[in-house]
């Protein structure tokens, strides 16, 4: 089997999905919920297993670093992560093994590609829920080493501008790929992103009352379906051409760059994406999709 970047997954991280799973690591308990997405993740997990990667590399919008790109580079991270907006749903005890050698190589390559990048070597660092939910939903056994990348953005400053952000994550994707190839890793890259991102500001009581869960508006839903159909057809170039309009109209979480980074790390393949499922989380649009560069997960698009 070849080395390098072998696949990517669009793997959204609403804390609701993990809350619905009731894993022992999470303090909050639910009656389930968000099954369509949780079943989608079940199928994606089986495909991830077939790919036999030796590392998972994830880019998260909820580790925000205004100054440069940061990369988790502590070999072992343990602690408790709490979602700042939904602490009632997500209080998670994590125990994460990091491929620190790959993390350092990504930082080096990012620097060589002209980006400002830093290795995060603080063992007391608290890992964000975006990184954790995506990794947990795809690999709940946590038996593979991982690398986490931050999102270099800051909503309150003039820079980076949206165009600069896109350029930065495109270059970061190339640097990630170069590091993976240099070390001969078999890596799967994960975009921790939902799609349309307007969400309700009040939760139902109880939060897992599924009669209250639906898309925030029709505009967001229709944009998501349009983007998903293009991704399913492998029409990647059109997806990126539409990205600015999508960003303006649907306020998608892809704005923080995870999807662009992932496609750049995969070298923008025009492969058909496999849709595992699509559904709402407090109004946002969430698709779980796989992009296989090896042909080991085909079928069932």
**Judged by CB under 6 A, does residue 194 bind ligand 2X7?**
yes
Packing angle between helix 258-265 and helix 236-250, nearest 10 degrees?
170
Taking CB under 6 A as the criterion, the residue among 105, 138, 187, 281 binding ligand 2X7 is 281
Q: Distance (Å, rounded) from C-alpha 204 to C-alpha 259?
A: 30
**Is residue 150 close enough to count as binding ligand 2X7 by CB under 6 A?**
no
Asked if 17 and 289 count as a contact pair (C-beta separation under 8 A), the reply is no
In the sheet that 146-151 helps form, which strands lie side by side, from edge to edge? 117-120, 69-72, 146-151, 55-64, 186-191, 4-10, 284-292, 274-281
Nearest CB to ligand 2X7, comparing residues 194 and 264: 194
In this structure, are residues 160 and 78 in contact, taking their beta carbons and an 8 Å threshold? Answer: no
3-class DSSP assignment, residue 234:
coil
- Figure out which of the listed residues 152, 186, 199, 215 binds ligand 2X7, where binding follows CB under 6 A: 199
User: Does 224 interact with ligand 2X7 (rule: CB under 6 A)?
Assistant: no
Least distance from C-beta 151 to ligand 2X7, angstroms?
12
**59 part of the interface to ligand 2X7, by CB under 6 A:** no
Options 12-20, 112-120, 138-146, 206-214: segment touching ligand 2X7 (CB under 6 A): 12-20
Give the count of residues interacting with ligand 2X7 (CB under 6 A).
Answer: 9
- Does 89 contact ligand 2X7 by CB under 6 A? no
Single residue of 72, 120, 284, 289 touching ligand 2X7 by CB under 6 A: 284
For position 253 contacting ligand 2X7 by CB under 6 A, the verdict is: yes
Please tell me what DSSP assigns to residue 158.
S
What distance in Å separates the CA atoms of residue 193 and residue 232, rounded to the nearest whole number?
17
57 vs 102: CA distance, rounded Å? 9
Relative orientation angle of helices 162-183 and 100-112, to the nearest 10 degrees: 130
Comparing CB distances to ligand 2X7, the nearer of 181 and 203 is 203
Residue ranges binding ligand 2X7 (CB under 6 A): 13-15, 194, 199, 253, 281-282, 284
């Amino acid at each position: 089997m070849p080395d390098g970047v072998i696949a990517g997954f669009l793997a959204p991280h609403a804390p609701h999905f993990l809350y619905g799973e009731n894993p022992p690591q999470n303090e909050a308990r639910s009656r389930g919920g968000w099954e369509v997405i949780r079943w989608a993740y079940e199928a994606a997990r089986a495909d991830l297993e077939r790919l036999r990667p030796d590392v998972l590399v994830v880019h998260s919008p909820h580790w925000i670093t205004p100054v440069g790109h940061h990369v988790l580079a502590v070999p072992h991270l343990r602690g408790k992560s709490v979602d700042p907006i939904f602490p009632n749903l997500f209080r998670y005890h994590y125990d994460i093994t990091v491929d620190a050698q790959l993390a350092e190589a990504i930082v080096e390559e990012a620097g060589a590609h002209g980006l400002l990048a830093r290795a995060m070597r603080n063992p007391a660092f608290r890992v964000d829920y975006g990184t954790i939910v995506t990794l947990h939903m795809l690999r709940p056994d946590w038996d593979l080493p991982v690398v986490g990348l931050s999102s270099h953005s800051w909503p309150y400053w003039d820079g980076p501008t949206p165009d600069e952000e896109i350029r930065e994550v495109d270059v970061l994707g190339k640097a990630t790929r170069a590091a993976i190839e240099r070390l001969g890793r078999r890596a799967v890259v994960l975009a921790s992103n939902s799609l349309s991102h307007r969400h309700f500001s009040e939760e139902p009581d109880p939060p897992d009352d599924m009669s209250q869960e639906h898309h925030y508006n029709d505009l967001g839903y229709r944009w998501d379906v349009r983007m998903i159909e293009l991704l399913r057809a492998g029409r990647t170039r059109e997806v990126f051409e539409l990205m600015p309009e999508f960003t303006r109209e649907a306020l998608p979480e892809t704005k923080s760059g995870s999807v662009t980074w992932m496609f750049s790390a995969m070298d923008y393949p025009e492969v058909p994406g496999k849709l595992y499922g699509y559904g709402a989380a407090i109004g946002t649009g969430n698709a779980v999709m796989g992009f296989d560069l090896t042909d080991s997960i085909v079928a069932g698009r």
